[in-house]
Amino acid sequence: MKTRLADISAYITKDGSKIRELMHPDRHGNRNQSLAEAVVPAGTRTLLHRHLTSEELYHVTSGEGLLTLGEEKMKVSPGDTALIPPGTPHCIEATGAGPLHILCCCSPAYRHGDTELLEAMRGDSR
């Protein structure tokens, strides 16, 4: 099975990020994980949230950002990879001049029902 980013429609997740599912069990036949590209527009951030069962990896491919993991805040840039353990509150802000592009790997695979929002929707969440 192979997918192409250009052929995949984007959607907005519960946290407000624009996602393209590159590989997901519901559509592609893989079993234990999902891989998506998230895009956070410059000057915005995702909503603070956590995944109840999924472990998540963020790998920054372009842009600059500020990742909040629990009480810790860290700058991220292309080439950086961060581990987000299940249950850890997190959000990410695009702090550079352009959008922040992130590869997101979730195991088990991403599900809206596994995402708990920890703050209300805002007008600038995307």
pLDDT reported for residue 124: 43
pLDDT reported for residue 6: 82
66: CATH:
2.60.120.10
pLDDT reported for residue 41: 95
pLDDT reported for residue 122: 57
In a domain, 108, yes or no: yes
In a domain, 25, yes or no: yes
Q: Which domain holds residue 85?
A: 5-117
The pLDDT averaged over each successive group of 10 residues in the chain (126 residues) is: 84 84 84 93 95 97 98 98 98 97 94 89 49
In a domain, 23, yes or no: yes
In a domain, 123, yes or no: no
In a domain, 27, yes or no: yes
Run of H or E residues at 60: strand 55-62
pLDDT reported for residue 121: 66
Q: How many domains does the chain have?
A: 1
- What's the CA gap between 82 and 56, in Å, rounded? 8
In a domain, 125, yes or no: no
In a domain, 29, yes or no: yes
In a domain, 63, yes or no: yes
